[in-house]
């Protein structure tokens, strides 16, 4: 029987990944190790109770990890992180302890228990920002130039993952994805916040001029890509994950308002985020060509499903 150890499985992406892994491997033993910070929510696990084992624990605590990690483990998928850029600007402390130290603790435990593969869930933000040109893209060869404390902590984590591979020969792979959207995202993040404000006829705060570009992917597509990388990628490899769906922030907001039939006048420009990266855009050619992964859910369908989930009603599309 396969055994998988997922950290951060009570969060937005980790809880979707639990659903994806259980669908691929219905007989596997799946352990979800999560500290239940403000971002981790047991309601994200609804319907999964009988399908996986939940362990409350902190990836910074080696004793807790060692106690929960089985002796025979096929893979660790490390989703656990402090993930909100604005919070990292307020204070980077927890970002360093969880994202960097916590990853190193997991790598040490993986070695101690002979875990077969370590999958680090990273982000395109490690590559900083791109020039404001439509033909500028991140590739796996782009330099790591993080700009926010969040991105710096995820970059440091990647370096420790690489070091575990190079120094100790641990089987590791790294995935770098763009912005995710879909059900169960913590309501402080852009898309759920904008949907809930629009539903309440409250202003939709838009940073700066709204021209910042992000590359959006439906969360299920991201999780399927991680599964593909786990199954097929060579040890030590890095894969960018993206759905070729770059959007300006202002266009994301107007799409949500149009779906909910609310006026664009609800958009309210606010002071820009400090160090706000201008453009993220991912070239996913490597994962498409080498591993045969492709996204399945387009923006139009994905954002409608997302709005439906948060609003609790069906929307004609
Ligand atoms: N959200 C995105 O758009 C995005 C894009 C690319 C990569 N990622 C990465 O994907 C991963 C998951 O992101 P998310 O949006 O689901 O985050 P999230 O904030 O929704 O969830 C994080 C989860 O980690 C848990 N956690 C936090 N600190 C912990 C600790 N010390 N020990 C154990 N558990 C802890 C939380 O309780 C929570 O359940 C992160 O590593 C993030 O960097 C996110």
Closest residue by Cα to residue 6 from 227, 291, 239, 161: 227
Q: Is the pLDDT of residue 115 over 80?
A: yes
Judge if the beta carbon of residue 40 lies within 6 A of ligand 1. Answer: yes
CA of 78, closest atom in ligand 1: 41
240 within 8 A of 301, measured Cβ to Cβ: no
Q: What is the Å distance from ligand 1's center to 316 Cα?
A: 32
Q: pLDDT of 188-221, one tens digit each?
A: 999 999 999 999 999 999 999 999 999 999 999 9
Mean pLDDT over each residue of the chain, to the nearest integer:
97
Q: Which residues contact 14 (CB under 8 A, 6 or more apart)?
A: 6, 7, 8, 32, 34, 77, 79, 80
106 within 8 A of 31, measured Cβ to Cβ: no
Judge if the beta carbon of residue 83 lies within 6 A of ligand 1. Answer: yes
Average confidence (pLDDT) over 1-24:
97
Judge if the beta carbon of residue 182 lies within 6 A of ligand 1. Answer: no
Q: Is the pLDDT of residue 56 over 80?
A: yes
Outline where DSSP puts E strands in the chain: 3-7, 29-34, 53-56, 75-78, 117-123, 172-177, 179-181, 204-207, 213-218, 238-241, 246-248, 267-270
Window from 91-95, 120-124, 263-267, 312-316 with minimum mean pLDDT:
312-316
Average confidence (pLDDT) over 168-185:
98
Judge if the beta carbon of residue 154 lies within 6 A of ligand 1. Answer: yes
Average confidence (pLDDT) over 11-29:
97
182-214+245-280+287-311 CATH: 3.90.25.10
Place of tokens 């892994």: 21
Domain ranges of the chain: 3-180+217-241, 182-214+245-280+287-311
- pLDDT for 315: 85
Ligand 1 pocket test: pick from 52, 83, 161, 181 the residue with the most ligand atoms within 8 Å of its Cβ: 83
User: Considering Cα of 162, then 288, then 299, then 185, what sign does the dihedral take?
Assistant: negative
Architecture of domain 3-180+217-241: 3-Layer(aba) Sandwich (3.40)
Split at pLDDT 50, 70, 90, the class of 51 is confident
- φ/ψ of 263, rounded to 5, equals -75, 145
Counting residues of the chain whose pLDDT is more than 90, the rounded percentage is 96
Q: What is the Å distance from ligand 1's center to 45 Cα?
A: 15
- pLDDT for 313: 87
The catalytic residue positions are 124-125, 150
Q: What is the Å distance from ligand 1's center to 84 Cα?
A: 9
Query: In the numeric block, which tokens belong to residue 44?
Result: 């994200």
Q: pLDDT of 216-247, one tens digit each?
A: 999 999 999 999 999 999 999 999 999 999 99
Q: Which residues contact 303 (CB under 8 A, 6 or more apart)?
A: 181, 191, 255, 256, 259
- pLDDT for 316: 76
Describe the crossing of helices 249-259 and 190-199 by its angle, rounded to 10 degrees. Answer: 40
107 within 8 A of 160, measured Cβ to Cβ: yes
- pLDDT for 317: 65
Q: Is the pLDDT of residue 250 over 70?
A: yes
- φ/ψ of 163, rounded to 5, equals -65, -35
Ramachandran class of 283: left when φ > 0, alpha when ψ lies in -120 to 50, beta otherwise: beta
Q: pLDDT of 126-157, one tens digit each?
A: 999 999 998 999 999 999 999 999 999 999 99
CA of 59, closest atom in ligand 1: 32
- pLDDT for 228: 98
- pLDDT for 249: 97
């Amino acid at each position: 029987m396969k055994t998988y150890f997922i950290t951060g499985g009570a969060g937005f992406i980790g809880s979707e990944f639990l659903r994806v892994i259980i669908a691929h491997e219905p007989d596997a033993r799946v352990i979800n190790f999560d500290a239940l910070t403000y971002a981790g929510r047991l309601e994200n696990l609804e319907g999964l109770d009988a399908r996986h084992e939940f362990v409350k624990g902190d990836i910074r605590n080696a004793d807790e990890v060692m106690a929960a990690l089985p002796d025979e483990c096929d893979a660790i998928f490390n989703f656990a992180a402090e993930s909100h850029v604005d919070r990292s600007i307020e204070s980077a402390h927890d970002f360093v302890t969880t994202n960097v130290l916590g990853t190193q603790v997991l790598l040490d435990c993986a070695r101690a228990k002979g875990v077969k593969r370590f999958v680090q869930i990273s982000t395109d933000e490690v590559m900083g920002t791109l020039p404001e040109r439509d033909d500028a893209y991140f590739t796996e060869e782009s330099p790591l130039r993080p700009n926010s404390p969040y991105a710096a902590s995820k970059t440091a984590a990647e370096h420790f993952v690489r070091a575990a591979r190079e120094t100790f020969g641990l089987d590791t792979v790294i995935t770098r994805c763009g912005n995710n959207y879909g059900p169960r995202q913590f309501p402080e993040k852009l898309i759920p916040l904008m949907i809930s404000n629009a539903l309440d006829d409250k202003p939709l705060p838009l940073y700066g001029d709204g021209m910042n570009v992000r590359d959006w992917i439906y969360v299920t597509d991201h999780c399927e890509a991680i599964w593909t990388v786990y199954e097929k990628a060579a040890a030590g490899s890095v894969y960018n994950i993206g759905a070729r769906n770059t959007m300006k922030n202002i266009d994301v907001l107007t799409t949500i308002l149009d779906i909910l039939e609310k006026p664009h006048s609800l958009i309210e420009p606010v002071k820009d985020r400090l160090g706000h990266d201008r453009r993220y855009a991912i070239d996913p050619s490597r994962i498409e060509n080498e591993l045969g992964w492709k996204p399945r859910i387009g923006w139009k369908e994905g954002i409608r499903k997302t709005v439906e989930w948060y609003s609790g009603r069906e929307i004609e599309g």
